[in-house]
């Protein structure tokens, strides 16, 4: 039986805070003690840096990590999803990637430093997507630059996920 972790946004938490922070995920993985882990994701995203830290935690974890995109893995949550050895997406879910963002202020020199930092962060995020999908840098960066929303079928065709989770509802007639 697998240890389950749920990364579902709340009214106050998203990737990088509360039960969706890298510190919390580290404690959950320690509690899993090497057992296989299922990570269920439904998140609009959050901190790119925490997402990369969680991705790294999953990749270094000794047990098998399977990530499930249950409804939405957008922005930083898409990076977290890529950390699974196997990535499974609900046929109803969406995956979204885009350029990293920062809320900033300051003079021209400070803003230029932020632009340079954002470009470096995008390079790192693009590499994670390239490593998972096998797509080239030009294709991935084009997807990032244009804000790309993917259905499960599109994500599978592009190599971002490994499997689509399909639910077959059993229909019964109560008259019998």
From the CB of residue 153, how many other CB atoms can be counted at a distance below 10 Å? 12
Q: What is the DSSP letter of 19?
A: G
Of 46, 100, 74, nearest in space to 160 by CA: 74
Does a structural domain hold residue 107? yes
The pLDDT confidence band at residue 156, using thresholds 50, 70 and 90, is very high
8-state DSSP, 136? -
Question: Domain for residue 64, yes or no?
Answer: yes
- Segments forming the whole domain that contains residue 38: 3-165
The residue whose two tokens read 């899993």 is 32
pLDDT at 173: 66
Is residue 104 in a domain?
Answer: yes
Q: Is residue 112 part of a domain?
A: yes
Active site residues: 75, 98
**Please, which pLDDT band fits residue 102 given cuts at 50, 70 and 90?**
confident
For residue 176, the model assigns a pLDDT of 54
Q: Is residue 173 part of a domain?
A: no
Cβ neighbours around 3 below 10 Å, total: 17
Angle at 24 between CA 125 and CA 161, to 5 degrees: 40
* Residue 176 belongs to some domain of the structure: no
Q: Which residues contact 31 (CB under 8 A, 6 or more apart)?
A: 3
| Calpha distance 41→14 (Å, rounded) | 11
Instruction: Tell me the percentage of the chain whose pLDDT exceeds 90.
Output: 86
Is the pLDDT assigned to residue 174 strictly greater than 70?
Answer: no
Handedness of CA 37, 60, 20, 97 (dihedral sign): negative
* pTM for this predicted structure: 0.91
**Total structural domains within the chain:** 1
Looking at the domain assignment, is residue 80 inside a domain?
yes
DSSP result, 25-50 = HHHHHHHHTTS-EEEEEEE--B-HHH
Residue 38 maps to which CATH number? 3.90.226.10
Question: Is a pLDDT exceeding 80 seen at residue 169?
Answer: no
* pLDDT digit string, tens, across residues 128-154: 999 999 999 999 999 999 999 999 999
- Kindly state the tokens that stand for 175: 């008259």
Q: In this structure, is residue 135 part of a structural domain?
A: yes
């Amino acid at each position: 039986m697998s240890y389950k972790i749920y990364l579902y946004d709340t009214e106050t938490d998203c990737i990088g805070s509360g039960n969706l922070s890298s510190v919390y995920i580290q404690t959950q993985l320690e509690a899993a003690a090497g057992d296989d882990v299922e990570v269920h994701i439904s998140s609009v995203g959050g901190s790119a840096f925490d997402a990369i830290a969680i991705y790294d935690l999953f990749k270094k974890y000794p047990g098998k990590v399977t990530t499930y995109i249950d409804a939405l893995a957008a922005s930083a949550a898409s990076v977290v999803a890529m950390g699974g050895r196997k990535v499974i997406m609900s046929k109803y879910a969406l995956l979204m990637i885009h350029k990293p963002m920062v809320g900033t202020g300051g003079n021209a020199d400070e803003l230029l430093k932020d632009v340079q930092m954002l470009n470096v962060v995008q390079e790192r995020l693009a590499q994670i997507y390239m490593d998972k999908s096998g797509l080239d840098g030009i294709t991935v960066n084009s997807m990032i630059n244009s804000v790309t929303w993917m259905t499960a079928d599109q994500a599978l065709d592009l190599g971002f996920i490994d499997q689509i989770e399909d639910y077959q509802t059993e229909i019964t007639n109560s008259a019998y």
